[in-house]
Amino acid sequence: MACVDHAGNAAAFLKDKAQARWHDEALWYVRKKRDAAAASVPEWEELRRAAEAVKEHTLAHLGHYLTLFESQARANGIEVYWAENGQELNDIVAGLLREHGAKRVVKSKSMLTEECGLNAYLQQRGIEVTDTDLGERIVQLAGQHPSHIVLPAIHMRKREVAALFSEHLGTERDNDDPLYLTRAARAHLRQKFLEADAAITGVNFALAEEGGVVVCTNEGNADLGTALPGLHIACMGLEKVVPDARALGVLTRLLARSATGQAITTYTSHFLRPKPGGRLCVVIVDNGRSGLLQSGQKKVLTCIRCGACMNSCPVYRRSGGHSYETTVPGPIGSVLAAAKEPGRFASLPFACTLCASCDHVCPERIDLHDRLFAARRVAMESTCFGGKRRSLRLAAVLLRHPRLYRFVMAAARAVLPKLPRNWLYNRHNLWGLEREVPMPAKKPFRQMMRERKRG
Amino acid sequence: MKRIGLFVPCYIDDFYPEAALSTLEILEAHGFDVAYPENQSCCGQPLFNNGLPEDARLLAERFVKLFGAFDYVVAPSSSCIATVKYRYREVLPQKEAEALGKRVYELFEFLHDVVGVERLRLPHPFPHRVGLHQSCHGLRELGLGCPSETFVKGCGDKVRRVLEKVEGIDVVMPSRDECCGFGGTFSVQEHALSARMGRDRIADHTANGVEVITGVDMSCLMHMQGLAKRDGIPLRFVHAAQILAGRAE
């Protein structure tokens, strides 16, 4: 199995220095906005603890809340379906669309359908799927995947978007004025909304007590998309359920502030029943989540997908979301991917310096750096790290035998300063590719101490 | 008199002995009986951090054997101390790990929390503009500072508070308190990214016109020093202990 080469991907991303700098600064700007928004809430830390308690409680009684949600939703006239994996989700959605005779679908943001490859599945069956979140539409036109869960096209500059829009939407080639481009996208999407036979949305929260789902967007595209067609299919991971609207109140205060620094998303829409004459179908998807619930990484199921950990991560900001080759990138994505396929994603828990900044911005107080630390244990067993494992085990032997270690260091002290430069600096010395190698001191500390004792 | 076991991380022993010597001198100047158990070895951090805790077990056991009897264990490195404090729980009996964890200190944490800022004896002036690099393990695991993303009441910049007691010093913080990109084997495995992160930190400091960059983790400084040297940037990198001990000139 091929392993994701995060280091190589990151190095490729960094080649365009101006682009990489812009990416870093744009996301740092979002982080600063988050800091300001969080600081504006005096009880921020208490709020985080409350959110953590809400989600942990829900996970501890997940079966109860999912069943409650199902019965309440059904009582409200919502159809509820269960999918064990991505394939089942795709089949259920395709089946519903077929029943409805739907050929054109508008879809608002859903990382779950991205995870399950729904777009490609439907397109292969002759159904036109239009992503209606502006950033998602941009990456869709470019034939790419989102590089960030909240800002899907953050890796692209406006001039690239201008070129893309001129190709697909017929805008002026060199006009990269954001207002002009946004208007063009709006006109284009408006047409898609009017033509749509069905709407697909994600779900940010499902309320068990009330039996409804909540979708948060900043563009109102979920509301526009679901307004006209008679069929609305909402796709949710089973961890999205929360006890009730009171619990929701805690989480919505944190979600937008953590994500973009807004007090609340522009639209926080509640879908409690189908509209008159229409159908509202909710598909609850497992796709590995119940496995996570049984594992040591259970805590990551409390994630509300705000993206704050990505914005705060110095590695993510400088390597771009695509470097992770996952649906959800960054710190949380690395834990999720490594839990699911530790072999293929073995490099991701190591695409991290354990700086722990992600822990502090996470509204759910997920101990992400400890989760990544734990994931390394499994990742290290991967064949991709055979070489690294062997050299570290060798180092371990050396460190366990201080005399041997000191002998090696004495040799290094004698030899290193005398080596010709090209012996020290070549492609085998990864440290030295961009950095000078430190030289051992003339006298190690332990020798200084011996001399000090002797006086 | 309280007895301190001086823990000198392996790379400091061989590459930056001045940082260790400075630590010893500062502790002695404050009236402690400091011992240096010579048979010490690495704390095991590289093995823990790379998912090989079983290979680190013997190092952790050796650490307990050598340092278990001291009133305090002090080291000029926040990341090694964080390892002893938080990672030894994985391989040692819980009680033993917790008891040890309570007695280990990074030098500046020790000076701030145990000696007390008002009782410091720092006779060596350092009239320079100094950029303080807060290393991540110190900042976020040991709580030596207040990370910009948190809003915890009552946290204090311990390293900065101690450093600012030095006569003539002008401590300047960079605009971002983020990771320098060293990260142990990360610096090798993700060398391009690591170098980018380090260069960004250096640029942040040089924009403030500092002559010296200091911190409590020589490993971060070593990484940035290597980059600055390669790029021909005339900056000095010294461990903060050297500034206190008058060994930074």
pLDDT for the residue numbered A402: 86
Identify any residues that bridge with B100 across adjacent strands, giving them in sequence order: none
Which pairs with CB-CB distance under 8 Å and at least 24 residues apart come from A335-342? A335/A297, A335/A300, A335/A368, A335/A371, A335/A372, A335/A375, A336/A292, A336/A300, A338/A375, A338/A378, A338/A379, A339/A292, A339/A295, A339/A297, A339/A300, A339/A375, A340/A288, A342/A375, A342/A378, A342/A379, A342/A381, A342/A382
What is the mean pLDDT of the segment spanning A421-440?
94
* pLDDT tens readout for residues B51-95: 999 999 999 999 999 999 999 999 999 999 999 999 999 999 999
* pLDDT tens readout for residues A275-297: 999 999 999 999 999 999 999 99
Which ipTM value was assigned to this complex? 0.96
How far is the C-alpha of A31 from the C-alpha of B178, rounded, in Å?
A: 12
CA distance A374 to chain B (A): 7
Q: What is the largest CA-CA distance in chain B?
A: 50
Looking only at the bridges linking them, the beta strands covering A104-107 and A198-201 are parallel
Encoded amino acid at A419, one letter: L
Residue A376 has pLDDT above 80, yes or no: yes
Tell me the residues of chain A between 330 and 349 that have a Cβ less than 8 Å away from chain B. Answer: 347, 349
DSSP code, position B144: -
Residue A455 has pLDDT above 80, yes or no: no
pLDDT for the residue numbered A453: 86
Contacts of residue A350 in chain B, CB cutoff 8 Å?
50, 185-186, 189-190
Query: Between B94-103 and B53-67, two packed helices, what is the crossing angle to 10 degrees?
Result: 60
Residue A162 has pLDDT above 80, yes or no: yes
Reduced to 3 states, what is the DSSP secondary structure of residue A234? Answer: strand
Reduced to 3 states, what is the DSSP secondary structure of residue B66? Answer: helix
- Preferred mutation among A21, A27, A388, A445 to probe B, highest tally of B CBs within 10 A: A445
CB contact under 8 A, B179 and A433: no
Q: What end-to-end distance do the CA atoms of chain B give, in Å? A: 32
Residue B152 has pLDDT above 80, yes or no: no
* pLDDT tens readout for residues B90-142: 999 999 999 999 999 999 999 999 999 999 999 999 999 999 999 999 999 99
pLDDT confidence tier of residue B6, bands split at 50, 70 and 90: very high
How far is the C-alpha of A153 from the C-alpha of A219, rounded, in Å?
A: 15
**Nearest residue, CB atoms, B226 vs list A14, A34, A437:** A437
Query: Between A44-60 and A62-75, two packed helices, what is the crossing angle to 10 degrees?
Result: 90
pLDDT for the residue numbered A13: 98
* Chains A & B: contacts with CB separation below 8 Å: 193
DSSP E strands: which ranges in B22-159? 33-35, 72-75, 104-106, 129-133
How far is the C-alpha of B128 from the C-alpha of B208, rounded, in Å?
A: 13
* pLDDT tens readout for residues A339-370: 999 999 999 999 999 999 999 999 999 999 99
**Nearest residue, CB atoms, A440 vs list B14, B21, B182:** B14
pLDDT for the residue numbered B68: 92
pLDDT confidence tier of residue A300, bands split at 50, 70 and 90: very high
Residue A1 has pLDDT above 70, yes or no: no
DSSP code, position A110: -
Contacts of residue A38 in chain B, CB cutoff 8 Å?
151
E strand or H helix at A130 = strand A128-131
Reduced to 3 states, what is the DSSP secondary structure of residue B145? Answer: coil
Q: Does A390 touch chain B (CB under 8 A)?
A: no
pLDDT for the residue numbered B34: 98
Nearest Cα residue in chain A from B137:
A355
Encoded amino acid at B17, one letter: P
How far is the C-alpha of A435 from the C-alpha of B244, rounded, in Å?
A: 28
Half-sphere CA count of A31, side-chain side, radius 13 A: 27
Nearest Cα residue in chain A from B228:
A435
* pLDDT tens readout for residues B199-243: 999 999 999 999 999 999 999 999 999 999 999 999 999 999 999
DSSP code, position A437: P
Answer positive or negative: Cα dihedral of A82, A289, A308, A48. positive
pLDDT for the residue numbered B46: 96
Give yes or no for a contact between A372 and A346, defined as CB atoms under 8 angstroms apart: no
How far is the C-alpha of A240 from the C-alpha of A283, rounded, in Å?
A: 12
How far is the C-alpha of B67 from the C-alpha of A42, rounded, in Å?
A: 43
Residues in CB range of A176: below 8 A, 6 or more apart: A158, A159, A161, A162
Q: What is the largest CA-CA distance in chain A?
A: 95
Residue A194 has pLDDT above 90, yes or no: yes
Tell me the residues of chain A between 34 and 63 that have a Cβ less than 8 Å away from chain B. Answer: 34-35, 38-39, 44-45
- Angle A97-A103-A107 from CA coordinates, rounded to 5°: 70
CA distance B113 to chain A (A): 23
pLDDT for the residue numbered B156: 83
How far is the C-alpha of A373 from the C-alpha of B182, rounded, in Å?
A: 16
Contacts of residue B198 in chain A, CB cutoff 8 Å?
435
pLDDT for the residue numbered A383: 87
Query: Between A402-415 and A386-400, two packed helices, what is the crossing angle to 10 degrees?
Result: 110
Q: How far is CA A423 from the centre of its chain?
A: 42
Residue A69 has pLDDT above 80, yes or no: yes
- Preferred mutation among B10, B11, B14 to probe A, highest tally of A CBs within 10 A: B14
Reduced to 3 states, what is the DSSP secondary structure of residue A376? Answer: helix
Give yes or no for a contact between B100 and B64, defined as CB atoms under 8 angstroms apart: yes
**Number of Cβ atoms within 10 Å of the Cβ of A270:** 14
Q: How far is CA A334 from the centre of its chain?
A: 8
**Number of Cβ atoms within 10 Å of the Cβ of A438:** 19
Q: How far is CA A160 from the centre of its chain?
A: 23
**Nearest residue, CB atoms, A399 vs list B39, B41, B200:** B41
- Angle A300-A306-A312 from CA coordinates, rounded to 5°: 90
